[in-house]
Structure 1
Amino acid sequence: MRPEDRMFQTRAVILSTLSLAFLLSLRGAGAIKADHVSTYAMFVQTHRPTGEYMFEFDEDEMFYVDLDKKETVWHLEEFGRALSFEAQGGLANIAILNNNLNITIQRSNYTQAANDPPEVTVFPKEPVELGQPNTLICHIDKFFPPVLNVTWLCNGQPVTEGVAESLFLPRTDYSFHKFHYLTFVPSAEDYYDCRVEHWGLDQPLLKHWEAQEPIQ
């Protein structure tokens, strides 16, 4: 087996259970139009986070299994009242994946998959009005493996309050994307950066944002 084939096989097995229940790639091909898409996705790896088990519907997060607390965590409380999912089912699948990962690592002579660097964009959730609360969104896209360090900066200083983040969300090409959020009040004096660190980057990537003065 060629090295590049082993590398692809390693990546495919690590993420082998991206169960995309939208009739595969036909959704965007014109052959079949899917009204709704449900996605189960799980992965394991040898670095933190060591794994993830999640479910989304029409690209909205529904729940994930907290692998440390061994419980189902619903994105919204009403989802948990209307639906149910036993965390043990997800944990059992994660255990199988871990076993398969160990076997694959040994058979691939510990060949590591390539590090794909992320693409990063920053944008406000709502149209910006100075002095009105808003949310900045940092979208980190097309990266592999699912290992990131993300920091919000305001005027060059780290911000830890008012921040939130999504899970690692799967893409059909076995890469990932992720959202980080910062609640803030726009002003003409402040500027913001989303700093992203990833193994595919030679140095941290800073994506800049600041409020623009309205055109008179």
Structure 2
Amino acid sequence: MMKTIMKLLLFLSSVLWVSAQVLHEDLGITGCSDFDGEEMYALDGEELWYADFKNHKGVEPQPSFIDHISYPEGAYEAAVAQQQVCRSNLKTVREALKNPPVKKDAPSSPMIYPEESVEVGVSNTLICHVSGFYPAPVNVSWTKNNQDVTSESSINVPYPNKDGTFTQISRLVFTPQLGDIYSCSVKHLALTEPLTRTWDVEDQTPQPGIGPSVFCGVGLTLGLLGVAAGTFFLIKGNECS
């Protein structure tokens, strides 16, 4: 994977239609390197379709809250053909610019957080959000209690930011148990060492009974203060009469 990201990437992205009021933004990306490639389409920041060149198919990772949009048969084959055009263009650019050095922007510190509120024993998803890097992609690995669980995770295709950098999100389905500690580590050619963030199940799980106990304790204290204040004013009133 590191060999892949160390190769020059050529990304061609375009805004296909934007109204004067920016009602919708339609995005298409074609990218390639010597060993990797990307073809992706999105609408208003949501991925609609991308070519999975490893599994040789098109994928429609659309969220459930939008009307599903199906891409025509042959879309994946067209993406494969487009990769040949992309690599031909990449070769031309390299020769014309005499293999210029690749711009390198390191990703910001990754964010790791659960998709849903944490409940012990209830299936959830951990998200590792990585942004601000160039070129794409990054390599994200996961551990559970220092054991590698990367094979159980998934990662989206690189998504372009408006500043020319990229964002990728890796997901790990897990069942929280007290004592478990997870981590995600990010590798990128602009980094000298991986960026790692950890996530502790126990730190995220509400402790039963603490909230009501504190509330009752505060209520009792305020009640006692109220009785004391009432007694004080009663005594003062008797002294004045």
Class of the TM-score when normalised by the shorter of the 2 chains: 0.7 to 0.9
CA apart distance, 1:209: 1.1
The residue identity in structure 1 corresponding to 2:61 is H
CA apart distance, 1:99: 1.4
For 1:158, the equivalent position in structure 2 comes to 148
The structure 1 residue matched to 2:176, chosen from 176, 180, 186, is 186
For 1:134, the equivalent position in structure 2 comes to 124
Q: Distance in 2 between matches of 1:57 and 1:38?
A: 5
1:152/1:18 CA distance change after superposition, 3 Å: same
Q: Distance in 2 between matches of 1:142 and 1:111?
A: 22
CA apart distance, 1:68: 5.9
Partner SS for 1:18: strand
Q: Distance in 1 between matches of 2:153 and 2:98?
A: 40
Q: Is the 8 A contact 2:105 2:135 kept in 1?
A: yes
Specify every segment of 5 or more residues in structure 1 that has no aligned partner in the other structure, as ranges: 1-10
For 1:3, the equivalent position in structure 2 comes to none
Partner SS for 1:137: strand
Q: Is the 8 A contact 2:138 2:168 kept in 1?
A: no
CA apart distance, 1:172: 2.4
Q: Distance in 1 between matches of 2:183 and 2:150?
A: 13
Give the number of equivalent residue pairs. 193
For 2:10, the equivalent position in structure 1 comes to 14
Q: Distance in 2 between matches of 1:89 and 1:131?
A: 44
- Which has more strand, going by share of residues? 1
For 2:239, the equivalent position in structure 1 comes to none
1:117-155 Cα distance to aligned partner (Å, 9 max, x none)? 112111110111222211000011111111322111111
Q: Is the 8 A contact 2:127 2:171 kept in 1?
A: yes
Q: TM-score, normalised by structure 2?
A: 0.70
- Higher RCO (CA-CA < 8 Å; seq separation 6+): 1
Percent identity, aligned pairs only, is 26
For 2:85, the equivalent position in structure 1 comes to 96
Specify every segment of 5 or more residues in structure 2 that has no aligned partner in the other structure, as ranges: 1-7, 211-241
For 1:7, the equivalent position in structure 2 comes to none
For 2:37, the equivalent position in structure 1 comes to 51
